[in-house]
Structure 1
Amino acid sequence: RKIAEINCQEVKTMRTSLSLWFKLSIGAVIWIGASMLSTASPVSTEVLRNMIYQGIDDVTGEIKLNDGEWEGAPFVEGGAARPTVTFVDGFRLDANLDNQGGAETLVLLGLSMGGSGELLYLAVVGEVGGEPRNLATVLIGDRVGIVNVETEGHRVLMDVLRAGPDDPACCPGELATIGWEWNSRELKSVKTGVEPLRFTLKALEGTKWKLTDWDFKTPVTADATATLQFNEVGIFGNGGCNRYSAQVMLGDLPGDIKVGPAIATQMACPGPGGKLESRFLRRLQSVIKISFLATRLGLTYEIDQSFGTMYFERMAID
């Protein structure tokens, strides 16, 4: 399941360009007293994908994930539609939120109620009596793209791409920062009063991305790297061997883009770099959507009436 991916289609750089701090007020919190917390090492991802979570709206009581998945009973006896919760792979953030020696772990959970919506949750996991426990769970929003997540002391800062007042739910075009504060008892939302801004490619200037997946859970295996950066007119980077650049135009709906023909250097590229570059540039010049999935950048392309989404992870700027 493609949790939180924009089909109508995760930064300090982003936050600086938006003057972002905290914003938004979202409830739905559960808590466990800090006096019971241990100082053990962060929980393994395998345990996180198979543990008990609670505090998810529209799901009564606790849910137990099995290999990252949970399915509830059908809404109608004998029907196919049912609630499902999915662990969002590819994202976890370990941070000492309570300054008591042991790190808590932040993960994302996606709730589907059988329709087109996808409610995204932030869950905090720590150890209680030597066992991993879901300490708090809070709603992020419906079909929200996670651009970046950071912690500063007791606070969690999340840059999001969400639907604005005039956006269709499928196609979010508003950038904002959600902030929560952890006081060892609850994850409480924090407001800042900073106005959200519309998403444009300018917000991505100064960021650098590395191609990691050709499509959802189809990783790049070549012994070469394709990169992507943004400037005032479009994109540029290394295709795996040659340097390239291309203009980018915005479409009518939020997230709609059109990438122009790529101009590249002409070095001979035998081996894996050349093969990766050929495949990458063909898809890049067919991109029609931009989105974010658990801090990864997604570029959706259409080739011969077939669709796919390349995913990129953020890199440090050289």
Structure 2
Amino acid sequence: MISALDLANLQQAEIIGVGEGNEPKRLWRGIWGEDWQSPSASNADDGYYKVSLTFAGNLAAYGSVMNNQKVQAAVITDFQTSGSGRFSYLSLFDEHFDAEGYGEANNVATALIGDRVQVVDLYVEPPFIVVKSIQAGEQDPMCCGGDFVTQFWRYQNGKLEQDTSKLQRSRISLDVIAGKTWHLMQKGSLPASKTPLSASTLKFEEGQFVGSTGCNNYSSKVQSSEGKTEIKLATIGTTRKACRSDAAQQQEKRFLKALSKVDRYGFYAGQLQLFFDDAGSSKVLVFETTKEKP
């Protein structure tokens, strides 16, 4: 949209207001880290940062929220420490120009969204930045949030401040994914945003998962409980069209097999995750939606 605020530049930007001391943290390819831990002395590239700040997927929202007749960018970052917490932050960027006219992404404000939240959606509704997420309710353990929360953030006095009068909170249900067509990513590992979409789709309507395998249409009734992300699918029914190739047929088989085992759903940076167990190993189907934001 604006060159200095595109994803490539935002993922190389400096972030303020995160962690103890609030020292600026410069991202490199979407991550900042310190205290590198390598489990293998023979491979120093194999490991992780004990403390890290990560650009969440490829999620960014654009719009005018600073009343300066320019477009700003809002992004989500996750701050991970050596403990169990994973703190999600909302950062607002404006475009800054140097004396020679070159623009760069300038982080003007950052605010904490919460601990171990799952961001469902992010968009700009001027003058607000709207964040929809799953968070722990009063009776929920931090690991397993059951509240669907909509927060409205506004840039005021040099800060991002939440308008609590507009806060919306309800118990989570599968209705959160209704009204959209979700497209399966060709790779299930995260972040998957740079991988192309497959032909398989999913929608939730009238208590069912429906969609296309790429060859056939399918449907399955889904059982779920309010405030819980555990789900159970009934037997999946499909049409009987032949696939155009052996590869498409194998893809259909793999997709239907995985979908039949799904027992939980969640979100990461706007991506829908359907979790299932396969041979004792936890795996995930990752979907994105192409639905336009409000």
The TM-score bracket by the shorter chain reads 0.7 to 0.9
Instruction: For residue 140 of structure 1, report the CA deviation from its aligned partner.
Output: 0.7
Asked if 1:133 is matched to 2:106, the reply is yes
- Alpha carbons 1:208, 1:227 under 8 Å: kept: yes
Q: Which runs of 5+ in 1 are unaligned?
A: 1-39, 75-79
| Count of residue pairs the alignment pairs up | 274
Choose the corresponding residue for 1:103, options 47, 57, 71: 71
Aligned to 2:12: 50
String of CA shifts for 1:262-289, please: whole Å, max 9, x gaps: 1000100132433322221111111121
Aligned to 1:308: 283
List aligned pairs for 1:178-217, cutoff 5 A. Answer: 178-183=151-156, 185-192=158-165, 196-212=169-185, 213-217=187-191
Aligned to 1:67: 29
List aligned pairs for 1:1-318, cutoff 5 A. Answer: 41-73=3-35, 82-130=50-98, 131-183=104-156, 185-192=158-165, 196-212=169-185, 213-217=187-191, 224-250=198-224, 254-271=228-245, 272-316=247-291
Q: CA RMSD in A?
A: 2.7
Distance 1:297 1:246 in 2: 18
Query: Which sits farther off after the overlay, 100-109 or 134-143?
Result: 100-109
| TM-score, length-scaled by structure 1 | 0.78
Q: Secondary structure at the match of 1:225?
A: strand
Instruction: For residue 260 of structure 1, report the CA deviation from its aligned partner.
Output: 2.3
% identical equivalent positions: 27
Distance 2:196 2:29 in 1: 28
Query: Counterpart amino acid of 1:255?
Result: T
Query: Counterpart amino acid of 1:44?
Result: D
Greater relative contact order (CA < 8 Å, ≥ 6 in sequence): 1
Instruction: For residue 219 of structure 1, report the CA deviation from its aligned partner.
Output: 7.2
Distance 1:104 1:295 in 2: 19
- Alpha carbons 2:150, 2:168 under 8 Å: kept: no
Aligned to 1:19: none
Distance 1:176 1:189 in 2: 13
String of CA shifts for 1:225-284, please: whole Å, max 9, x gaps: 111111232211111110100122237982111222210001001324333222211111
Q: Which runs of 5+ in 2 are unaligned?
A: 37-47, 99-103
Structure having the larger proportion of residues in strand? 2
| TM-score, length-scaled by structure 2 | 0.83
String of CA shifts for 1:24-82, please: whole Å, max 9, x gaps: xxxxxxxxxxxxxxxx65423222222211101325411122222222358xxxxx983
